[in-house]
Chain A
Amino acid sequence: MTFGAMAYLAYRAIVAHPLKRLLRQRGTGEARFRAAYETEGLAPTTEADRAIGLEAQACIACGLCETGCALAAADPAIRALGLHAAFRLYGRNPAELPLAAGALEACAGCTGCEALCPTGVPITRVVGALARRAHGARPGSPREPSPSPAARDP
């Protein structure tokens, strides 16, 4: 472990944590968890999030879903790595998820991707759930969770 990392841990243990304990307001477990960790980008995972994550894991990164996808063209990272990067990269990193909110929103909900996926990843649902989580996790976001992509379609 580097000196920097040791110093950071010591700071957490000796200064930050006791201060937080002194100053914290009582609340539900979740509220306290959020107060303590959300600023660091660690949002609590719900049962539903986990189920979505498991479904996304069936992805074998084959790229078949990309042909004709609006989202895949929306963001340089997704563009370079393929549509599955939308959930492979962002799905695993709650801290950076809010940064992807704009890109995830580019999903037109056309469901064109799903019929092409050999392993049956419910892509629209995974992307929709990530987009909702991204907006929910953005500090101070006034936005309501977006309706399901299908419902948004005219």
Chain B
Amino acid sequence: MTPTPGLLEVDVLVIGAGMAGAMAALAARDAGATVAVASRAPGATALSSGAVGVAPDPTASPDEPLAWLRAPVEAARRLAARRPDHPYAAVGVAGLWRLGEALRFAARQLEPLLAPPLERPRLLATPAGNAVRAALCQRSMDAGDLLAVRGPLLVCGFAGHLAFDAALVAAGLARYTPRGGPEVGDAEVALPFDDPAARPHELARALEPPGAAERLGEALRIPAGALGAGAILLPPVLGLDPAARVPERIAAAAGMPVAETLSDVPSVPGLRLHAALEARLRVAGVARVTGEAAGAPAPGRAVEIGGTVVRAETWILASGRFVGGGIARRGALVEPALGLPVQAAEGREAGVHLARRPAASLTVRDRRAPQPLLSAGLRVDAALRPVDDRGRPVHPRLLAAGAVIGGHEQATDGSGLGVAILTGFLAGRAAARRGA
């Protein structure tokens, strides 16, 4: 016997609960629409470094002073001008114009987790010792902004925690010192509990109980004093739950600002981002459905997802790329939720015919060259409606947002979460207008 499926009638159905889907849902809800979000599992958002990359600056020269960093919105404009297939270009000048508004909206929605946006990007360290620009970052990362550190920066690892090599990070960051970055030193301290082999999420949890963060902070005083440090940079394991205030407590005990680096996978900051989005959706009164949409019909028609039947006039597809499952390799590239046409490659050769080739043939030998496979996805018009191979919208009330839109290598080109926030915000607002 199958249970009688519930029926859910809303203005907007969002498929996918990553950054793009959550932003779309929150933007539509904020504009007065009723919204349901359906998702199968966490996506790339939960694997991200935890900070929002908006755009690398394509015109920056590698040895210019760090302080010359262009504002995220300006960098995105330059990127759009050079890459006509990038989603920043696809949304048109009017769409990209709203990037600043979208970022502020995201920061407000994720208020307890994210630090308020600045005019300039923050320059944050990766666990490989590179500095990357982030338009938004978690509060736990803020004090590590290379442009804001006052005095030498102490990179400190934990004895036995092999996932973080403080000397490597410090050596990497020292390359930025001549360009205006801080002096850098490195050290290692013992953890205040006896299990340094713990996985990142276990370390993060172990630092949460009263006393643990404080003891770590006190231990940090010694190497920080020796270096005369102005701030301390730690591995990205400073608590799973932001409410435990792990970075703040370590900083209070150490007597100076403390930050964590961005993260590789497994990513504790990514998990925090995922949890914060889910919590925000709950608070905003968005209906949540768990399950997979497969072979769904079209907006306006009822669709069954995970035992719930949902009916909505407007759908937003925010199902991600290969990690999220929005685009899948089944011999050739397919979009499994609605069966929309997938486009591979950028530039002149772009087209649906490429996407129909075996997926393995869409990679090129030169690893630094653009990989058609990695930027494959849906093509959209300026209103974010997916288009067919002749460029016509597939359905007037079907929108797309986030990494399911092709034209950018979302995991590596430094614009993944920025695209998710902008397109999610625009799609959500547009969907709410139609619903009204």
Q: Say yes or no: B199 contacts A64, CB within 8 Å.
A: no
Most chain A beta-carbon neighbours within 10 Å: one of B41, B265, B271, B325: B41
Query: Does residue B221 face the partner (Cβ distance < 8 Å to A)?
Result: no
Query: Does residue A82 face the partner (Cβ distance < 8 Å to B)?
Result: yes
Q: With contacts A60-B323, A72-B199 known, is A117 near B266, CB below 8 A? A: no
Query: Does residue A93 face the partner (Cβ distance < 8 Å to B)?
Result: no
Q: Which positions 89-126 of chain A face chain B at CB distance < 8 Å?
A: 115-120
Q: Say yes or no: A118 contacts B199, CB within 8 Å.
A: no
Chain A residues within 8 Å of B44, by CB: 118
Query: Does residue A62 face the partner (Cβ distance < 8 Å to B)?
Result: yes
Which chain B residue has the least Cβ–Cβ distance from A83? B199
- Per the bound structure, the CA–CA distance linking A67 and B202 in Å amounts to 8
* B133 smallest CB distance to A (angstroms): 24
Q: Say yes or no: A82 contacts B41, CB within 8 Å.
A: no
Chain B residues within 8 Å of A14, by CB: none
A115 interface neighbour in B271, B290, B324, Cβ under 8 Å: B290
Which chain A residue has the least Cβ–Cβ distance from B323? A118
Query: Does residue A80 face the partner (Cβ distance < 8 Å to B)?
Result: yes
Q: Say yes or no: B201 contacts A118, CB within 8 Å.
A: no
Q: Say yes or no: B266 contacts A82, CB within 8 Å.
A: yes
Category for how many chain A residues contact B: 10 to 19
- Per the bound structure, the CA–CA distance linking A116 and B17 in Å amounts to 12
Chain B residues within 8 Å of A63, by CB: 199-201, 265-266
Chain B residues within 8 Å of A76, by CB: 197
Q: Which positions 321-371 of chain B face chain A at CB distance < 8 Å?
A: 323-325
Q: What string of 1s and 0s marks CB contacts (under 8 Å) between B30-44 and chain A?
A: 000000000011111
Q: Say yes or no: B323 contacts A64, CB within 8 Å.
A: no
Q: Which positions 253-295 of chain B face chain A at CB distance < 8 Å?
A: 265-266, 271, 290
Q: Say yes or no: A64 contacts B47, CB within 8 Å.
A: yes
- Per the bound structure, the CA–CA distance linking A117 and B41 in Å amounts to 6
Secondary structure at chain A's binding surface: helix, strand, loop or mixed? loop
Chain B residues within 8 Å of A66, by CB: 199, 201, 266
Q: With contacts A118-B323, A118-B325 known, is A64 near B46, CB below 8 A? A: yes
- Per the bound structure, the CA–CA distance linking A66 and B47 in Å amounts to 13
* B360 smallest CB distance to A (angstroms): 15
* B318 smallest CB distance to A (angstroms): 14
Which chain B residue has the least Cβ–Cβ distance from A117? B41
Q: Say yes or no: A119 contacts B323, CB within 8 Å.
A: yes
Query: Does residue A79 face the partner (Cβ distance < 8 Å to B)?
Result: yes
* A62 smallest CB distance to B (angstroms): 5
* B105 smallest CB distance to A (angstroms): 25
Q: Say yes or no: A118 contacts B265, CB within 8 Å.
A: no
- Per the bound structure, the CA–CA distance linking A80 and B200 in Å amounts to 10
* B143 smallest CB distance to A (angstroms): 26
* A66 smallest CB distance to B (angstroms): 6
* B337 smallest CB distance to A (angstroms): 13
Q: Say yes or no: A67 contacts B201, CB within 8 Å.
A: yes
Which chain A residue has the least Cβ–Cβ distance from B195? A79
Q: Say yes or no: B197 contacts A118, CB within 8 Å.
A: no
* B153 smallest CB distance to A (angstroms): 28
Q: Say yes or no: A116 contacts B199, CB within 8 Å.
A: no
B40 interface neighbour in A64, A80, A120, Cβ under 8 Å: A120
- Per the bound structure, the CA–CA distance linking A72 and B200 in Å amounts to 13
- Per the bound structure, the CA–CA distance linking A13 and B400 in Å amounts to 63
Chain A residues within 8 Å of B266, by CB: 62-64, 66, 82
- Per the bound structure, the CA–CA distance linking A6 and B290 in Å amounts to 58
Chain A residues within 8 Å of B42, by CB: 64, 116, 118
Q: Say yes or no: A116 contacts B197, CB within 8 Å.
A: no
Q: Say yes or no: B290 contacts A118, CB within 8 Å.
A: no
Q: Say yes or no: B265 contacts A62, CB within 8 Å.
A: yes
- Per the bound structure, the CA–CA distance linking A60 and B323 in Å amounts to 8
- Per the bound structure, the CA–CA distance linking A64 and B44 in Å amounts to 11
- Per the bound structure, the CA–CA distance linking A123 and B316 in Å amounts to 30
Q: Say yes or no: B197 contacts A120, CB within 8 Å.
A: no
* A103 smallest CB distance to B (angstroms): 15
Q: Say yes or no: A79 contacts B199, CB within 8 Å.
A: yes
Which chain A residue has the least Cβ–Cβ distance from B47? A62
Q: Which positions 42-64 of chain A face chain B at CB distance < 8 Å?
A: 60-64
- Per the bound structure, the CA–CA distance linking A27 and B224 in Å amounts to 73
Q: Say yes or no: B47 contacts A120, CB within 8 Å.
A: no
Chain A residues within 8 Å of B197, by CB: 76, 79-80
Which chain B residue has the least Cβ–Cβ distance from A81? B199
Q: List 11 A-B contacts (CB under 8 A).
A: A62-B265, A63-B199, A63-B200, A63-B201, A63-B266, A64-B47, A64-B271, A66-B201, A67-B271, A118-B41, A120-B40
Other 7 A-B pairs with CB < 8 A, given A66-B199, A119-B323? A62-B265, A62-B266, A64-B47, A64-B266, A79-B198, A117-B41, A118-B324
